[in-house]
């Protein structure tokens, strides 16, 4: 049998890593944020660009899923109209916990330039939002930075399944 010439006392030698449950669970969660494909308007184009080869969201472990049941984070990319409001709530409810929401762009944040009767004045009226990205539309770099901030937020939290109470019925 071959003798491994490994000095277990040197750095990286000991094949054991100690950590806490919170850290390892959050490590997994934050590095595989699967996003719901949810382009509502022009921000959706930037979101697609973030996922495509030039900006490459896969580097963060963010893969777009077409089903809310497989998604961890909902990126509300675009104008949320009042006609569509019930569907965003339905999709959000179908996502499994823990789940996060990024409100991408001015329209999703506050209604933006659409100060009209047909636009929801901020998607946080319907669903709880973790992160607001400013911009019209935000660049893919902004969205990726936003996802990194969301990762930080996830890592700073406890790993328990019960989410902190957010403003929602």
From its phi and psi, is residue 105 left (phi > 0), alpha (psi between -120 and 50) or beta? left
Helix axes 21-30, 140-156, angle to 10 degrees: 160
* Sign of the CA dihedral running 71, 159, 102, 152: negative
Q: Which is nearer to other proteins, 64 or 132 (CB)?
A: 132
Q: Identify which of residues 42 and 85 has a Cβ nearer to other proteins in the complex.
A: 85
Cβ at position 51, least distance to other proteins in Å: 23
Name which of 4 and 167 has its Cβ closer to other proteins. Answer: 167
**DSSP 8-state symbol, 67:** S
Report, in Å, the least distance between residue 135 CB and other proteins: 13
Please choose, from the candidates 51, 66, 62, the residue with its C-alpha nearest in 3D space to the C-alpha of residue 100.
Answer: 62
For residues 64 and 73, which CB has a smaller minimum distance to other proteins in the complex? 73
CB of 108 to other proteins, least distance (A): 12
Sites of contact with other proteins (CB under 8 A): 11-12, 17, 23, 26-27, 82-83, 85-86, 89, 106, 110-112, 115-118, 120-122, 124-126, 132, 149, 152-153, 155-156, 164-165, 167, 169
Torsion, CA 153, CA 164, CA 126, CA 115, rounded to 10 = -50
Peptide bond into 70 cis (omega under 30): no
Least distance to other proteins from the beta carbon of 155, Å?
Answer: 5
């Amino acid at each position: 049998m071959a003798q491994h010439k490994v000095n277990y006392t040197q750095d990286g030698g000991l094949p054991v890593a100690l950590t806490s449950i919170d850290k390892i669970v959050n490590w997994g969660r934050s590095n595989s944020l699967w996003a719901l494909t949810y382009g509502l308007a022009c921000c959706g184009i930037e979101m697609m660009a973030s996922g495509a080869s030039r900006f490459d969201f896969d580097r963060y472990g963010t893969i777009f899923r077409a089903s809310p049941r497989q998604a961890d984070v909902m990126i509300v990319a675009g104008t949320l109209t009042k006609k569509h409001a019930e569907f965003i709530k339905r999709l959000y409810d179908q996502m499994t916990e823990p789940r996060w929401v990024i409100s991408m762009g001015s329209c999703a944040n506050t209604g933006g330039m659409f100060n009209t009767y047909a636009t929801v004045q901020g998607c946080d009226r319907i669903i709880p939002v973790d992160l607001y990205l400013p911009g019209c539309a935000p660049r893919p770099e902004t969205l990726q930075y936003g996802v990194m901030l969301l990762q930080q937020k996830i890592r700073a939290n406890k790993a328990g399944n019960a989410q902190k109470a957010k403003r929602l019925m």
